[in-house]
Amino acid sequence: MGREFASVAARWCHLLDLDVRPEIVAVCDANPAAMEWFTRNFAIPQATSDYKELLANTDVDAVYCAVPHNLHERLYTDILAAGKHLMAEKPFGIDLGACERILTEVRAHPELLVRCSSEFPFVPASRRIFKMIEEEAFGEIIEVRAGLLHSSDLDPNKPINWKRKIDMCGEYGCMGDLGMHIVHIPVRAGWLPANVRALLSNIVKQRPDGKGGMAACETWDNAVLACETVQGFPMLLETKRISPADTNTWYLEVTGTKNSAQFSTKLPKTLRTMPYTSGVAQNWHVEDLGYDTAYKTITGSIFEFGFSDSILQMWAAFVDELANGDKMIGGFRCATPDEAHVSHLLFTAALESQRDKSTVALRHEAVG
């Protein structure tokens, strides 16, 4: 994902509206091979394997930090203590305690912009659905469904990696790795989960360790979370690493008494809506949205929108807010630390639900 951001910075000229652009002045990586990609493709004044050297660099205003979950708390709090703005990676701490300690540091530095990576809400259809939410076009909400599914761990012979180890990934497993992407829009809409009944699956229990042996897979492969929102309607959320035929499929479905909407990245241009009028046949309306983005680009509206485009739009939102604050051009902010905190409350309750085979209530009081 660091390379994805660097690529976005290199094609910033793709954007038309912004009066500010990011400049990569420093890069830090403990892996020399990974570092070589950056130094080969960019003229970067500082390249270091010690992140504290990067934080001491007065030319660095903001930091994008993409590291395993067990390093979030230490690095995020050090970045903030150094007076740098932060684009963090999900899940914003390895567990709830780590998230809340990071939040304490965030609130100690109100002058700093802190956001969490979540790019799918910047897809054109996602923006359209969120606008419908803001305009109360759905009427009374009947049900919400959201998910992020892929099949990258379907092969049982795939060697184990850090995401299958509790000490590095955390006990959340697939929820921590994928969950922020699916709670971003519901939580932004105010649809907070009041409780959850979780069904968690560890499907492949051992994988090759890369040394001729086998290692235990300690984290959850798949998660299905049945929630009741504070408004009282059901919300079904799923994150899966083993979902045959899915390659990072993100979807959002909102069903209401006046209108319904469905979108999946399997059909990246297609938004389905179904307005309801009494006495009129209920039919899905299918619309190809094309390249309709928050931040205008050189790409014409008739063309297709893709993953790298959503990354560009997300980073445009971060840089826009960093430069313009409440007067930002795009209007839709990246995921906030408080929204990441809601995801931790949900995933922690889900672990308890799985353990006790019960429905678990969530607490939503502020963290001080």
293-316 confidence digits (pLDDT tens): 999 999 998 899 999 999 999 999
Domain ranges of the chain: 2-116, 120-300+336-356
How much is the pTM? 0.94
Tokens at 65, concatenated: 């930090």
Is the domain 120-300+336-356 a CATH 1.20.1250.20 member? no
Q: Check residue 110 and give its pLDDT.
A: 97
Residue 367 has pLDDT above 80, yes or no: no
Instruction: Sort 232 into a burial class: Cβ within 10 Å, 0-12 / 13-18 / 19+.
Output: exposed
What does the pLDDT average to over 121-145? 96
Assign domain 2-116 one CATH number from 3.90.550.10, 3.40.120.10, 3.40.50.720, 1.10.540.10: 3.40.50.720
Q: Check residue 17 and give its pLDDT.
A: 82
Residue 363 has pLDDT above 90, yes or no: no
Q: Check residue 273 and give its pLDDT.
A: 97
Q: Check residue 361 and give its pLDDT.
A: 96
pLDDT averaged over the chain? 95
Tell me the DSSP string of 197-219: EEEEE----EEE-SSSSEEE--S
* Cα distances (angstroms) measured from residue 259 to each of 85, 127, 177, 232, 250: 40, 16, 32, 18, 21
Are 2-116 and 120-300+336-356 equal in CATH topology?
no
Cα–Cα–Cα angle for 329, 271, 319, rounded to 5 degrees: 20
Cα separation, 158 vs 165, in Å, equals 14
Q: Check residue 368 and give its pLDDT.
A: 36
Considering only residues 19 and 56, tell me which one the structure prediction assigns the higher pLDDT.
56
Cα separation, 235 vs 238, in Å, equals 10
213-270 confidence digits (pLDDT tens): 999 999 999 999 999 999 999 999 999 999 999 999 999 999 999 999 999 999 999 9
310-344 confidence digits (pLDDT tens): 999 999 999 999 999 999 998 899 999 999 999 99
Residue 364 has pLDDT above 80, yes or no: no
Q: Check residue 365 and give its pLDDT.
A: 66
236-267 core/surface letters (b: 16 or more CB in 10 A; e: else) = ebbbbbbbeebeebbbbbbbbeebbbbbbbee
